[in-house]
Each structure stands twice: as structure tokens, then as C-alpha cells.
Amino acid sequence: MSKNDRIRVGVIGPGGAGRGNTLAFATRDDVDLVAAADTSEDSLNALENSMREQVEGYKEDSFKRYLGDYEFIEMLNKEDLDIVGIFSPHSLHDLNIRYALRAGCSVMVEKPMANHVGDAIAVTRMAMGRDLHLVIGYQRHYSNTYLTGRKAISDGLIGDIKKFDVYLAQRWGGGGWRGDPRFSGGGQPNDSGSHLQDIFLWMTGFLPEKLYGTTNMMFEDDEGNLVQKSVEINSESEVTMDSGAVGRIKIVGNTHIGFEEWVILEGDGGKLEIKSGVHYTPNDGETQELLYDRPEGYPESKVDQIVGLVKGDYKTNYTSGINGIRTAWLTNSIIEAGKGEDEWNMVDCDLLVEREGYDRRYVHNLIEEFENKNMY
């Protein structure tokens, strides 16, 4: 339960997409946005303007500002916060999470939870050890489409999955800090691509075993010129999962046709295509569209999830830290494949996690421990 009558929220990095996340907290009638920390005064000014326009009854300058590279620490030390929303550049997530947990705050963090699988494991264990909630901003977990896909798989509708095709395409040029490897920790595979890798792993429960892949850092601008970037724009990987399923994961940042995504799964009992809805084709039948009823009492969003957990309204965390671990492991493997001597390179996923001080059995045990605590 909250230590206050209303949930007190502070945010780190409320610029860009972080501003939308912050407003999702501030527009609730059970939350007070009490503080925001950022390195940009313009970002804090923009938040003030948005609060004035979108939050009913908002009193001007009612959240406290913390401006500077390290003032988020001062915010955590001085303010009596229940939840910290972390919307800073990717490479800062791990550090921000640790400080917030040590301050006794539950956390909602944007994707990716951490750039490296070892850090993802460490902060997840830290949250569990402190009995605090950690929610990741993977909003597809609250989408009826992907909830339907997950249930169809768990119900065994297509049997054991043998093949998969995971695809995401976006006009993504690595602008701003996302194009700086110091802050992004990787390009499109670690940014928008993280969402689709996560939802694929969440629906199936798979972990990566071997990966053969390639990446490139060439972006085609609107005039047709190829521009060398400092982060990965495109990636293509052939992946073997620990279940034995094999397939392709392709993350594209160079498209001209807009945003597109799909997950296609082929099992020994049929096929599931999640693309503009969910379509199921049994081996001996015709394709049919699926849409299951939303589970009763299921959180409406990632913000609803973290607020409900802190208030005690929800007992299950559907975007827990285990998703950050799975996704970081796969993303690290995709990016590692692009660093080899050849155009396409093989990655041993076990070796990758062992270099971080863990192993596959440790991750499986952690998943089981989380499931026993209703954390998925």
C-alpha cells in the first residue's frame, strides 16, 4: 500500500515520449505529480505547459523541478515518493532504477529496462529483494490483440510452436540521443524493436539459444542518399529458441511505407498470424479471426498496472522485470551478431549471458520464482 493517501509520483526524463507517460500519471484522480527531474529546462517547461492544458484543476508550478545531470538523486532523497517514472535515455535506465529502488520507490521504466542482460537480472533481483514493484513500459501487454495471441498459445491452439516470423518496420533514422551509442545502447533493435521482441517472448515464453544474424548502420534519407549512422538501423536474425523453435526476427528502420509489425507462429496443430488482428488457421480447417474477452480485472495500461500494484488493487504484475531480462538477452544477441568479422555471424546465447555472470538455469529458476509470485 501507499504510505500516503494519494500516490505521489516523481519522474526522470519527462521529455518527448516521457511527457506522454508523465501525463498518463498526472491525469489520474488518485495520483499527484510532485516532482520532475531533467537535464533540459525546455523539457520541464514543456511539461508545465502540457500539465496546464491537460490536467483538470492544475495549479501552475505545482510540481517541483530538479534541473541537471544528477539532480534526480536530490529529488529521490528529498521527495516522499511512492512511484518513480523513468523515461530517460536507454543507457541511464539501469542507474536510475537502482537509485529509485534504494530510495524505497516502486518503478515504472520505459523500454528497454536495461541495455545488458546482466544489468536487467541485477535490477530485477534488487526490486524483488526490496519488495518493491518494477513495471516495464511494454504497452502491448495490455493490448487485446496480444492478450488474445498469448491465450491462444497457452491454450495449445496451435500445438508446439515449430517456426516463427517476427517483423517490425519503421521510418527510424536514429535522431537525437537515440543515434548516439553512449545513450541509446544500440539502434532500432534496442529501441522500437525491443517492443516486438518482448511481446513475442512474452506470448511464447521462449528464451534464445543460438542466433545467426547481421546488422547495418546505413539509413536512406528522403533524397535516396545512404547515410552512415553510429547505431544499428536494420537487423535480420535467424534464431533457434530453447524450445527448438526456429525462425526469423527482422527489425527495419529504413522503411518508406510507415509503421508495420507482425508475429507469425506455426505449430504442429496450426498457424497463428498476429497482423491487423489475430488469425488462426488449423491444419485441417479454414482461417478464422480470434478475439478473446479481456480477462476480468486486467489492468488497462502500464500506468494503471504500477499504480494499482502500489495501491494494492492488483496482485499480478504483467510487465515484470522478467520481460526486461528475456528481451535484453535477445537484443544483446542481435547486436552482438552485427559486430563479428563477417557480414553474418553466429552468437552462442549461453556464452553471452555467462559473460554477465549468470547462466540459462539461473534465468529459468528466476522465471519460475516470478511465476510463483504472480509476476509475468
Question: Residue 5's pLDDT band (boundaries 50, 70, 90)?
Answer: confident
pLDDT in tens, 363-373: 999 999 999 99
Q: What length is written for the chain?
A: 376
The answer to whether the peptide bond before residue 112 is cis (omega within 30 degrees of 0) is: yes
Residue 134's beta-bridge partner residues? 107
Domain ranges of the chain: 7-140, 143-296+318-372
Over range 129-137, report the average pLDDT: 98
Determine the Cα–Cα distance for residues 267 and 92; give it in Å rounded to an integer.
39
Position 1 scores a pLDDT of: 46
**Structure confidence at residue 319 as a pLDDT band (50, 70, 90):** very high
Angle among Cα 210, 332, 233 to the nearest 5 degrees reads: 110
Of residues 164, 168, 158, 190, the one with CA closest to residue 177 = 190
Q: What is the mean pLDDT of the chain?
A: 97
Using one digit for the tens of pLDDT, what is the confidence trace for 332-376? 999 999 999 999 999 999 999 999 999 999 999 999 999 999 999
Question: pLDDT per residue over 181-201, tens digit each?
Answer: 999 999 999 999 999 999 999
Q: How far apart are CA 252 and CA 330, in angstroms?
A: 16
* Residue from 190, 152, 151 nearest 168 by CA: 190
Tell the CATH topology of 143-296+318-372: Dihydrodipicolinate Reductase; domain 2 (3.30.360)
**Per-residue confidence band for 4, with pLDDT thresholds at 50, 70 and 90:** low
Q: Same fold for the domain at 7-140 and the one at 143-296+318-372? A: no
What average pLDDT does range 138-162 have in this prediction? Answer: 98
Give residue 23's pLDDT.
98
Choosing among 3.40.1390.30, 3.40.50.2300, 3.40.50.720, 3.40.50.300, the CATH entry for 7-140 is 3.40.50.720
Place of cell 536474425: 237
pLDDT tier at 57, thresholds 50, 70, 90:
very high
